[in-house]
Amino acid sequence: MGGRRRFEGRPERRDGSAFPVEVHLLRMDLQGEDRFLAINRDITERKEQERKREQIISRVTDAIVEVDADWRFTLVNEQAEELYDTEADELLGRNFWDVFSEARGTKFEDEYRAVMESREPTSLVDYYTGLDGWFDVQVYPTDDGGVAFYFREVTERRRQQRRFEAVFDSTYQFTGFLDPDGTVLEVNDAALSLGGVDREEVVGKSFWETYWFQASEKAQETAKRAVEQAGNGEMFRDEVRMQGDDREAIIDFTVRPVTNEQGEVTSLIPEGHDVTERR
């Protein structure tokens, strides 16, 4: 009667050093007699790769989950256990879609299955009802035909972002964010409304090249000077005549530097108040 077993061992070389091997033991019936065939394979390189991978995973702060080509869990790290409030042993070998059935029919399922099929990585940020939170997920194909998920909960970050956006766009003053070199990162609705422009028309441009400062060369030079002064860590303030959608406006204009703990300027905040009627 035939049979097959697989196990790992650590035999010794002639010099006394041990090395890992994978052993396949086959039981065969030869002319009515039991015989055994042992096939040994040196798996030193594979074990070293596994060790390095485990070291990398242990250092990563993200939750990590891997599934095979049949969507069965093959890896669940400690961060994922904590997030799921479930031990890895309770998940390994189970079908991903059975465990996270609420992900079916969502953007998560669309993106995950796309990576499984295309073998191209992707990323997404979305809300998952099963865990009642927002998640930033990086999805990668694995060498064994499965998929790996690196993810972190960003619910609080999303809440803070929404609160910021509510404040940012509810003020009547003109406000924005710039890189230290003056590249526009964001502007609020009040500023866009003044110029009658869309966000896409200004984000990514140098501040002094945006529509608002096209009223005159003096306005452009003022914007350049403001960025340079704030970029050096000093707040700039002056009045400037800006180009609006249907009029020119006199603006009480400031640019403030934002610094990190080392005192380095990381961004600039331009602000403006329309004082035309006071003139």
- CATH number, domain containing residue 149: 3.30.450.20
Query: Is 194 in the same domain as 146?
Result: no
Give yes or no: residues 187 and 241 share one domain: yes
Same domain? 41 vs 69:
no
Q: Which two tokens stand for residue 243?
A: 């180009």
More confident residue, 181 or 160: 181
Tell me which residue range forms the domain holding 223: 172-278
pLDDT single digits (tens) 192-234? 888 888 989 999 999 999 999 988 899 999 999 999 999 999 9
Residue 166 has pLDDT above 60, yes or no: no
Residues 269 and 176 in one domain: yes
Please state, in angstroms and rounded to a whole number, the distance separating the CA atoms of residues 48 and 237.
61
Q: Is 256 inside any structural domain? A: yes
- The number of domains in the chain is 3
User: Residue 166 domain-assigned?
Assistant: no
First to last CA, the chain: 103
101 in a domain, yes or no?
yes
Quick check: is 50 in a domain? no
Query: Is 163 part of a structural domain of the chain?
Result: no
Mean pLDDT of 132-149: 90
Place of tokens 């006199």: 250
Residue 152 three-state SS:
strand
The structure tokens listed for 58 are 């242990």
The verdict on residue 105 lying in a domain is yes
Q: Are 18 and 10 in contact (CB under 8 A)?
A: yes
Q: Same domain for 177 and 208? A: yes
- In this structure, are 217 and 193 located in the same domain? yes
Would you say residue 39 has pLDDT above 90? no
- The whole-number pLDDT of residue 243 equals 80
Task: Reply yes or no on whether the pLDDT at 57 is more than 50.
Answer: no
Q: In this structure, is residue 54 part of a structural domain?
A: no
Whether 234 and 150 share a structural domain: no
Q: Looking at residue 194, what is its pLDDT? A: 82
Q: Are residues 78 and 116 in the same domain?
A: yes
The answer on 199 and 103 residing in a single domain is no
Q: Flag whether pLDDT at 185 surpasses 50.
A: yes
What distance in Å separates the CA atoms of residue 268 and residue 173, rounded to the nearest whole number?
Answer: 16
Q: Is 253 part of any domain?
A: yes
CA distance 79 to 64: 7
Is 153 found in the same domain as 196? no
Tokens describing residue 128 = 């998952």
Residues 193 and 247 in one domain: yes
Provide the residue type at 171 as one letter: T
Q: In the structure, what pLDDT confidence band is assigned to residue 15 with cuts at 50, 70 and 90?
A: confident
